[in-house]
Structure 1
Amino acid sequence: MFRHGKRSIGLLAAVACAALVAAGCSSQGGAQSQAGGTAQGQRYTIAMVTHEQPGDSFWDKIRAGAQQAATDLNVDLKYSNNNAAGDQATLVQNAIDSKVAGIAVTLAYADQVGPAAQKAVAAGIPTVAFNSGINEYQKYKIPMYFGSDEDLAGQSAGTKMTQAGGGKALCVVQEQGSVALEARCAGVKKTFPATENLQVNGADLPSVQQTIGAKLQQDPSITYVVTLGAPIALAALQSKTDSGSQAKVVTFDLNADVAKDIQNGSIQFSIDQQPYVQGYMAVQSLWLNLTNGNDLGGGKPVLTGPSFVDNTNITKIAEYAAKNTR
């Protein structure tokens, strides 16, 4: 399953470049001659519909990548988001009704949002899934997926923690019902069996900090706090300080502050799914499909992670994190 996906970034770049060369490129970007789209003066409108939770800086990278692709390819990007599954499904339906040229959608709540995305496919609108729903997108006839294998990412984190000494882990889930986050913790538990999940409300960081701190005070045997988002990692660091815990903090995802904490040793490592790439490729793949009939991945997921960020590579990556592209 993973063999096709792991060729992702290099092959995608080559495919994209080949398509752009075939279309003819200007120094300003965008096709100038043959492959449809801007070649005929047409500016495609692409809708991106996500389950973004307000205040989560992770989505800034998704949007930055998507907008860069839209700028490069002369695409009109319509971004919308709602963390409530039913409301996100409504946003997908709105995109269908507005007759956009393509739709990129996250499937964190696949049971509710997937059927709406399948309606887009049935209506002949090119549709890709990204970020969430790696095990569900094919069920809804969506041909392309860009993202990390969350189970594999969790297993990789658990293995790294076991190699560093083991113990007991607390896996902090900040969005109840998110299949991607639950898959991460389930993956951690496969290779680090002494893992307990802790549900928190990621939209309320003071509450997150208090809940983690209370758990660390209650159970001093916890050796690792695994967070599933960069803002939650920063809250966990404060919880650790307030509780006097010796637990180490590891996290999924990255931002500039987490990069600094990896540099100074406060956070052990990050498991990065490269959200900037996810946003960029979701838009670019739709553009390639619209202008050149391309489908990427051969029906398999195109993987953008997991990619470890730790003390061995943080010096180089920190500069990109500061630019909001990593």
Structure 2
Amino acid sequence: MTLVSPRKLVAVGAAAAAIALALSACSGGGAPKQTAAADSGGNGNSGYKIAMITHETPGDTFWDKIRAGAEQAAKDTGVKLTYSNDPQADKQAQLIQTAVDSKVDGIATTLVTPDALAGSVKAAQAAGIPLVGFNSGIDQYKQLGALMYFGSDENLAGNTVGEKLASEGVKHPLCVIQAAGSVALEARCAGVKDKVSGTENIQVNGADDSSVVSSLQAKLAQDSSIDAIVTLGAPIAMDALKAMSQASSKAKLVTFDLNEQAAQAIKDGKIEFSVDQQPYVQGYMAVTALYLYIKNGNDIGGGGPVLTGPSIVDKNNIDKILPFTKNNTR
């Protein structure tokens, strides 16, 4: 597996090692608005309650990996974890406020729409509840007041895609944004465009697969100069494959993120490569870092974001990674 240099940001491997050391020292210790609890496990009941709140869109398998990592961390640390989600920014903010009002010990949240979430994040600060960001908001988390951040540098990830496409002679990639207003998705496309100036963005409704397929099919049929499609999520990549078939497009297809179907498509040569941000690790580290901060005052990352990607998955390493996608951990 090839990891791209994080440019002076903290590498996830070092952070994972720090977490492992600190844990050893402290071992005594979908649809919108869904909630689920993961009871304490391996290390007994720590007595801590942590809320995880995301902007998950129903049906996006990406979030299954976030939750799997978070729930495993809850078991390993004896934390009671509550998960909730809503793709609408104002409702996600309400969920954060609800967690504050319920006096949880810590909050882990995505910061995909920073302006809309700022008020509820500040409310957590005022209540003395530690809050960490993950997955989205790498450029805004400090300004909002989050203690730590776990995720990918999305602009760097976009640059990585753009560089690889440019090296293959691609001139006119189509970058597919499936959620309006997402700073993370916009940063990915901007990163691609930094390296391939002919990059064009298209907005689709990621909550409706048939709409995604028809929108992409129409665009490909109308513009034969599109020589690559960049999808920003694995389910959207599968929609793109259908659209490419219907439009008889010969464009290259690359994607961000993984699921079992996209991983198999990489193995079958239908997708060139994926840029994986390792969501299982994001969920695991966000919960574990909060546990360590509450219990031991640890600051994982030393004041900077902890990178979980970009990690390239292609024909060279897909055989190793494919089984893990079936386990819902990659």
Query: Above 0.5 in TM-score?
Result: yes
Distance 2:134 2:164 in 1: 26
User: Post-superposition shift, 1:221?
Assistant: 1.0
Give the letter for the 1:250 counterpart: V
Contact 2:96 2:121 survives alignment (8 Å): yes
The aligned counterpart of 1:163 is 167
Contact 2:11 2:308 survives alignment (8 Å): no
Structure 1 residues 269-300: Cα deviation after superposition (integer angstroms, max 9, x where no partner) = 00000000000000000000111110111221
Give the letter for the 2:55 counterpart: H
The aligned counterpart of 1:85 is 89
The aligned counterpart of 2:35 is none
Distance 1:7 1:182 in 2: 23
Structure 1 residues 42-76: Cα deviation after superposition (integer angstroms, max 9, x where no partner) = 42110001000111111000001000101111111
Query: Is it true that 1:101 corresponds to 2:105 in the alignment?
Result: yes
The aligned counterpart of 2:9 is 5
The aligned counterpart of 2:317 is 313
Distance 1:146 1:23 in 2: 21
Q: 1:98 to 1:24 in 2, by over 3 A?
A: closer
Count of matched residue pairs: 315
User: Post-superposition shift, 1:18?
Assistant: 1.8
Distance 2:47 2:8 in 1: 31
SS in 1 for 2:272: strand
Trace 1:155-304 onto structure 2 (pairs within 5 A): 155-304=159-308
Contact 2:275 2:311 survives alignment (8 Å): yes
User: Post-superposition shift, 1:17?
Assistant: 2.2
SS in 2 for 1:165: coil
Contact 2:264 2:322 survives alignment (8 Å): yes
Q: Aligned-pair RMSD on alpha carbons?
A: 1.5
The aligned counterpart of 1:33 is none
SS in 2 for 1:267: coil
Distance 1:124 1:299 in 2: 19
User: Post-superposition shift, 1:12?
Assistant: 2.2
| Residue 20 of structure 2, aligned match among 17, 20, 29 | 17
Contact 1:134 1:147 survives alignment (8 Å): yes
Contact 1:49 1:106 survives alignment (8 Å): yes
The aligned counterpart of 2:135 is 131
Distance 2:91 2:164 in 1: 38
Give the letter for the 2:134 counterpart: F
Contact 2:155 2:188 survives alignment (8 Å): yes
The aligned counterpart of 1:66 is 70
Distance 1:13 1:84 in 2: 32
SS in 2 for 1:111: helix
TM-score scaled by length of structure 1 = 0.94
Structure 1 residues 170-218: Cα deviation after superposition (integer angstroms, max 9, x where no partner) = 0000000111001100110000111100000000000000000000000
Gaps of 5+ in 2: 30-40
The aligned counterpart of 1:145 is 149
Contact 1:89 1:116 survives alignment (8 Å): yes
Contact 2:15 2:306 survives alignment (8 Å): no
User: Post-superposition shift, 1:3?
Assistant: 4.9
The aligned counterpart of 1:44 is 48
Query: Is it true that 1:29 corresponds to 2:36 in the alignment?
Result: no
Contact 2:175 2:229 survives alignment (8 Å): yes
Among all aligned residue pairs of Structure 1 and Structure 2, give the percentage whose two residues are the same amino acid.
Answer: 56
User: Post-superposition shift, 1:29?
Assistant: 3.1
Contact 1:4 1:301 survives alignment (8 Å): no
Gaps of 5+ in 1: 31-37
SS in 2 for 1:197: strand
Query: Is it true that 1:154 corresponds to 2:158 in the alignment?
Result: yes
Q: 1:220 to 1:129 in 2, by over 3 A?
A: same
The aligned counterpart of 1:35 is none
User: Post-superposition shift, 1:13?
Assistant: 2.5
User: Post-superposition shift, 1:122?
Assistant: 2.3
User: Post-superposition shift, 1:4?
Assistant: 5.1
Contact 1:132 1:147 survives alignment (8 Å): yes
Give the letter for the 1:315 counterpart: D
